[in-house]
Amino acid sequence: MKYRQLGDSDLTVSEIALGSWLTYGGGVERQQAEACVHKAFEVGINFIDTANVYGRGAAESFLGEVLRGRDRSSYVLATKVFFPMSPSDQGLSAAQIYKQIDASLQRLGTDYVDLYQCHRFDPKTPLEETMAALSDIVHQGKARYIGFSEWQPTQIQAALDLANTEKFVSSQPQYSMLWRQPQAEVFPLCAANGIGQIVWSPLAQGVLTGKYKPGASPPADSRAANDQMNGFMDEVRRDRVLSAVQNLQPIAQRLNLSMAQLALAWILQDERVTAAIVGASRPEQLTDNAAASGVHLSPEVLQEIDQVLSPALPQPTER
């Protein structure tokens, strides 16, 4: 496993990170989930990402239990705040940030998180209030650093322009071979300001593993076949996308890589990406994913991938 520095922080994180969206405390059976976390550490993953809203606290509670007894300095722990935890608990007001960080820390069984992220931008709360509250929890030692997920460039810049507040060190956008939008503006803006990318859905909800075939029903044990975990998959399961992805198979085989390894290696070719967050329902998936760390893809291979996937990339009307 290779490691990279996260933005302007002093956090050194594994190129492959373990996520818990839709899986732990929810869609994956407890024993399997525990096995996945243990395997993550075994293969060198030291970066775990979660959020308060995942399973309405269940993912954090699960991680708090499974990480109990493990040296806290041996892993980097990130969580998020924004989405509703109850009809009256949501957003990025100071009151919510103070309340939700304490609740997250209690569930996670720790005194601090290494990274506290705004899960989305909150247009209903003044940015100054949000940034002041985030700065407070850093000064209180409850979070070491702060980040955001899926903010627009204008929103990022507005935060950067504020004086006397803690600065963001991470951005968490959706990014994959099939979804490249952050490359245009978010990546350059963040790179110029010491903000690293920790990207989600690098395998496009599993589509880039090649397991989904055009015109065929999804495998019974796949995410697409699980009603607890198959939201957000309509776009990437269009036949033209699945057909293009199948054409990546010869490239992966020629390089002695699995399809997942090819997709993750593609992500990590960009030095602005610090880590790719993967979900896993089986330990062997993490063994496979971790092997993508350190893989070099030549410019010729990257060009070939672009040619194969060009019919699958979102059209302007679909964005």
Catalytic residues: 54
27 membership: H or E segment, kind and range: none
Q: What is the dihedral of CA 168, 57, 101, 158, to 10 degrees?
A: 30
Which long-range CB contacts under 8 A does 251-256 form with residues at least 24 apart? 251/301, 251/304, 251/305, 251/308, 252/210, 255/297, 255/301
Per-residue tokens: 236:
């990437």
Cα 244 to Cα 306: distance, rounded to the nearest angstrom: 10
Cα 242 to Cα 246: distance, rounded to the nearest angstrom: 6
Cα 290 to Cα 40: distance, rounded to the nearest angstrom: 8
Question: Strand, coil or helix: what is 7?
Answer: coil
